[in-house]
Amino acid sequence: MNDYRNPPIVEAVCEFRFSSDTPWEQDLPDRFYDAVKDQFPIRESKKGQSLEIKADNTGIEGHRVETIEIQVFLAQDRRMLIQLGPRGLSINCLRPYPSWEGFRPLIHQTYETISSLTSVRGLDRIGILYVDKIEIPGEKIRLEDYFTFYPHLGEGLPKDLMNFMVGCDFAYRDRDVCRLKLTRAMPEKPGNSAYLLTTDYFLARKDTVKPDDACAWVEEAHAAVKSLFKGCITKKLEEIFNQED
pLDDT tens, residue by residue, 120-161 = 999 999 999 999 999 999 988 999 999 999 998 888 888 777
Q: What average pLDDT does range 101-105 have in this prediction?
A: 96
What are the φ and ψ backbone dihedral angles of 178, each rounded to 5 degrees?
-120, 120
* Tally of CB atoms within 10 A around 66: 10
pLDDT tens, residue by residue, 218-236 = 999 999 999 999 999 999 9
Q: Which residue has the higher pLDDT, 238 or 55?
A: 238
Q: Does 93 score more than 80 pLDDT?
A: yes
Q: Are 17 and 86 in contact (CB under 8 A)?
A: no
Q: Does 30 score more than 70 pLDDT?
A: yes
Query: What total of structural domains would you count in the chain?
Result: 1
Using only C-alpha atoms, what is the Rg of the chain?
20
Q: Does 101 score more than 70 pLDDT?
A: yes
2 in a domain, yes or no? Answer: no
Q: Does 61 score more than 70 pLDDT?
A: no
Percent residues over pLDDT 70 in the chain: 92
Question: For the chain, what is the total number of helices (H) and then of strands (E)?
Answer: 5, 9
pLDDT tens, residue by residue, 164-195 = 999 999 999 999 999 999 999 999 999 999 99
Average pLDDT for the chain:
92
36 in a domain, yes or no? Answer: yes
Q: Does 13 score more than 70 pLDDT?
A: yes
Q: Which residue has the higher pLDDT, 100 or 59?
A: 100
Q: Are 228 and 128 in contact (CB under 8 A)?
A: no
Q: Does 65 score more than 60 pLDDT?
A: yes
Q: What is the DSSP string of 41-98?
A: -EEEEEEEEEEEEEEETTEEEEEEEEEEEEEEEE-TTSSEEEEEETTEEEEEEESSP-
Q: What average pLDDT does range 31-52 have in this prediction?
A: 88
Q: How far is it, in rounded angstroms, from Cα 17 to Cα 22?
A: 10
4 in a domain, yes or no? Answer: no
* Size of the chain in residues: 245
198 in a domain, yes or no? Answer: yes
Q: Are 177 and 204 in contact (CB under 8 A)?
A: yes
Q: Are 32 and 117 in contact (CB under 8 A)?
A: yes
The reported pTM is 0.90
Q: What average pLDDT does range 64-74 have in this prediction?
A: 86
3 in a domain, yes or no? Answer: no
151 in a domain, yes or no? Answer: yes
Q: What average pLDDT does range 90-97 have in this prediction?
A: 96
Percent residues over pLDDT 90 in the chain: 82
1 in a domain, yes or no? Answer: no
For 51, the domain range is 9-241
Q: How far is it, in rounded angstroms, from Cα 9 to Cα 147?
A: 16
119 in a domain, yes or no? Answer: yes
